[in-house]
Structure 1
Amino acid sequence: MKRLIDLFRNKYFIAIAAFAVWMLFFDKNDIIAQYEYSVQVKKLQQEKDFYTKEIALVKKDLKELDSNLNSAEKFAREKYFMKKANEDVFVIVREEAKK
C-alpha cells in the first residue's frame, strides 16, 4: 500500500498521467474525434469507389456513343425516353418486392 501511495506522489507519474488523460479526453484530436474521423474516411472511401465505377461506366457509354450512330439512338431512347415524331413510348415501371 505504501508503494502505491508513493507512486501517486511521484511527480513524474502525475505528469504522465495528466498528459495521458489530457490527450485521451480533452485534446482536439481525442479518441472520440479519431473514431469519427475513421468512420468519415471509410464513408468517403466507399463514395470514391462508387464514383470511380460510375465514371468507368460513363466512359464506356461515351466511347460506344462516339463509335456508332445507331448506339446513340438506342442510348437516347433508353436513357432519355426520346422518340420519333410518329411513335408512342410506353414506360413500364416495375415495383420492387416489399419485404
Structure 2
Amino acid sequence: MENEKKHKKIWINALKNKYLIASVLFLTWIVFFDENSFVSHSENKRRLNELTKQKKYYIERIEADKQKLEDLSAGEKQLEKFAREQYYMSKPDEDLFIVIEEE
C-alpha cells in the first residue's frame, strides 16, 4: 500500500512538472506529426531505395535498346534477321515452323 502511494505521488509530481510535459509533447510531435518526422523519414528512405532499383533497371533497359538499335541499323541482313526472330516473318515461298521447348 505504501509503495502504491509513493508511485502515485511520483506520477502526480511528474505531471506537475511543466518541463517534463513539454519534453514529452515535443518528442511526440517530432516522432509522429512533424513534416520531417522519423516515420516520414523511414518512408522516404524506403521509397528512395525503390526508385534507385527502378533507375538501375531502366538504365540497363536503355543500354539493351541502344544495342538493339545499333544492330538494326547495321544493315538489311540484320533487319531481316531481327524480323524473322522476333516477329516470325518469312518470305512468301518459305514455310515457318515454330518449336516450343518445354522444360
> Shared fold (TM-score greater than 0.5)?
yes
| Residues matched between the structures, number | 95
2: CA distance between counterparts of 1:49 and 1:61?
19
1:74 aligns with 2:57: no
| Alignment-derived partner of residue 25 in structure 1 | 32
Secondary structure, in 3 states, of the residue corresponding to 2:57? helix
CA deviations over 1:53-90 (Å, ceiling 9, x no partner): 11101111111221222111111111222211122222
Q: Deviations over 1:23-71 (max 9, x none)?
A: 2123355433332322222122111111111110111111122122211
State the TM-score, normalized to the length of structure 2.
0.69
Greater Cα shift, 29-38 or 12-21 = 29-38
CA distance 1:94–1:85, change in 2 (3 Å): same
1:1-99 aligned within 5 A: 9-96=16-103
**Aligned-pair RMSD on alpha carbons?**
2.7
Partners in 1 of 2:80 and 2:15 — Cα distance? 80
Structure (1 or 2) with the larger CA radius of gyration: 2
Gaps of 5+ in 1: none
- Sequence identity percentage: 37
| TM-score between both structures, scaled by the size of structure 1 | 0.71
Extract unaligned runs of 5+ from structure 2.
Answer: 1-8
